[in-house]
Amino acid sequence: MLYFIEQLLNGVQLGMLLFLLAAGLTLIFGIMDLVNLAHGSLYMLGAYFAATFAAFTGSFVLGAILALAATFVSGVVLEVIAIRPLYGRSHLDHLLGTFGLLLFFNELVRLVWGPAGMTLSLPSEMLTAVQIIPGMYYPAYRLVIIAATLAVAALLYILVMRTRLGMLIRAGASNREMVGALGVNIKLLYTLVFGLGAALAGFAGLMQAPILTVQIGMGENILILAFVVIIIGGIGSIRGAFVASIIVGLIDTIGRAFLPDLLRAVLNTDAALTLAPALSSMSIYMLMAGILVFRPEGLFPAASK
């Protein structure tokens, strides 16, 4: 039982990270109708900035704050220079344009930071497991990730549902032309939303950096999962992204944790060992396929949010 709870926590923790990425992706898609393949690059930039600033200041927290600001600024600059010309064009143009940006950022990082990758070290008191219920230990840093992401999710909720900016964001998502016609500076709104998405991606990257280390192309695999999340959750819906992130995180982790043992009951050890990782990674895509067949709008269609 304790073991099962521990695996649930692992799933939730993965889900939390996916949410940070998916939230920005879904905001940008929902409001600007832009498919952003370069979102993973901002995740990577966040991690590289954090590793650099943390080494420079000697403090993990200070490095993280500086990195968050730097990723926001990078997002804003990127939007103004490269993303603006893409609005209103076809999704194929978005894919090509942002895929180009993805390659550009990988090479840029290679030039600036070198090919070897970096490490963002945790303070030594984080290198331990804490006892959360008697007999059950959980890595301290992964608890920090869960807590920090929940806090960000709450802030995001307040921002979108309780502030004037959030109102504009929601209005922009449901009717872009009308918002523009009412005299709202839609260009500025787009830039801010893109910057916010970038900061969220950067936050995901820097939180993940101590676990997965910092390397070129680190955002690419996880970006695919983030796209799966927003398709399951419903494109443009933050609430959908939150629920779908946790579902995807749980399915992935539970599959990895329990499938090998289940398969071993029916197959020999070798076959079960080889098959289990493949099956558990497929399970997420099978869920997505099911959602696309039975609820093509996703679990929380944006219109009903």
For the bound state, the minimum distance from the C-beta of residue 58 to another protein, rounded and expressed in Å, comes to 15
Residue 63 C-beta: closest distance to another protein, Å: 17
| 35/257 with CB nearer another protein | 257
Between 31 and 145, CB nearer to another protein: 145
Binding site for another protein (CB under 8 A): 3, 6-7, 10, 13-14, 115-119, 121-122, 126-129, 137, 139-142, 210-213, 215-218, 221, 253, 256-257, 260, 269-270, 273-274, 276-278, 280-281
Q: Which is nearer to another protein, 126 or 165 (CB)?
A: 126
Question: Which residue's CB is nearer to another protein, number 237 or number 245?
Answer: 245
Residue 287 to residues 9, 109, 205, 207, 247: CA-CA distances in angstroms? 21, 35, 26, 27, 10
CA atoms within 13 A on the CB side of 113: 22
- Residues 6 or more apart from 142 whose CB is under 8 A from it? 9, 10, 13, 211
In the bound complex, what is the minimum distance in angstroms from residue 99's beta carbon to another protein?
A: 16
> In the bound complex, what is the minimum distance in angstroms from residue 35's beta carbon to another protein?
21
CB of 249 to another protein, least distance (A): 10
- Closer CB to another protein, 29 or 141, in the complex: 141
Q: How far apart are CA 105 and CA 37, in angstroms?
A: 11
